[in-house]
Amino acid sequence: MPANVHPKPVFRFAPSPNGLLHLGHGLSAILNHDMAVETGGRCLLRIEDIDLTRCTPEYEQAIFEDLAWLGLTWEEPIRKQSQHFDAYAAALARLDAMGLIYPAFLTRGEVKAIVAAHEKTGNIWPRDPDGSPLYPDRDAQRSAEERQALMSQGIRHAWRLDMKKAMQLVKTPLNWQETGDGARGTIPADPAAWGDIILSRSDAPSSYHLSVVVDDALQGITHVVRGLDLYHATSVHRLLQTLLDLPQPLYHHHRLLLDQDGKKLSKSSGSTGLKHLREQGLSAADIRRLAGL
């Protein structure tokens, strides 16, 4: 591309149809839209529905209705992650060929028991930035024969990234450029804080982290605008982008809206649901005001 031609910024709003959108999603969608307008860029909508058990067509329809009510528009066709499992499988196969993934057989209950047994002896089990215990290294230590034997017995398994091996491949310090409401500037990424992250679930042929980096690259996303709850996940995204040779977008993590008790809004928080607010007779302008815009 000639040096004087700057690619158009590309933003995306990427909700999961596993519940109704709330005011916080409204803030995210409006910010993406407004920043695209301000920069002369494009704004895409992506439906992140890899969780086939929790995502429903009804919630998806509600997303379209809420966004249309907010006066937001998006390009067609929209990308629905459930239609692109092959793209995530290809990325997983690439990491496999690099020797960076392993089948993970421990159930949630087994992990819990291992952690509890360890902590009973007065030791602290390391937690990730979201507070969940890191995955024990038991499966990473298994021999190829042992893995094969367990898989041929049909034992359910996920696929996880071997974080230690992955970090050994990264030669330069990882960071990202941040313009949001938390710390800004060049932010050092610390993917190791997440341990052996899941890349393909036992009940879904991908994971949030894997599909989000694959799609951001495939869709040419230049600006990721999302809530501060995903700030630390960016460390993992930068690692996967580096391992998979994908470009890095700029990141803008915006403030989270809290409920009256100071808790983060959740999809079950009825009174701040966009549909509920619409049915109460509020307007799109009211939503902007309530979201502090």
Residues that bind ligand GLU (CB under 6 A): 14-16, 48, 212, 226, 230
Number of H helices, E strands in the chain: 10, 10
- Residues 215 and 286: their CA atoms lie apart, in Å, by 32
Closest distance of CB 138 from ligand GLU, Å: 30
Strands 101-104 and 198-200: unpaired
Contact 104, 135 (CB under 8 A): yes
- What is the C-alpha separation between 263 and 143, in angstroms, rounded? 44
> CB of 284: closest distance to ligand GLU in angstroms?
21
Closer CB to ligand GLU, residue 14 or residue 277?
Answer: 14
Residue-wise DSSP of 34-90: HHHHHHT-EEEEEE----TTT--HHHHHHHHHHHHHTT----SSPEEGGG-HHHHHH
Helices (H), the chain: 23-39, 57-69, 85-97, 108-120, 144-152, 163-169, 208-218, 233-243, 274-279, 284-290
CB of 258 to ligand GLU, least distance (A): 16
Nearer to ligand GLU, 213 or 243 (CB): 213
Q: Give 134 or 212: the residue with its C-beta nearer to ligand GLU.
A: 212
Q: How far is the CB of 15 from ligand GLU (least distance, A)?
A: 5
Distances (CA, A) of 69 to 80, 182, 286, 288: 21, 29, 12, 12
- Beta carbon of residue 140, minimum distance to ligand GLU (angstroms, whole number): 27
Q: How far is the CB of 226 from ligand GLU (least distance, A)?
A: 4
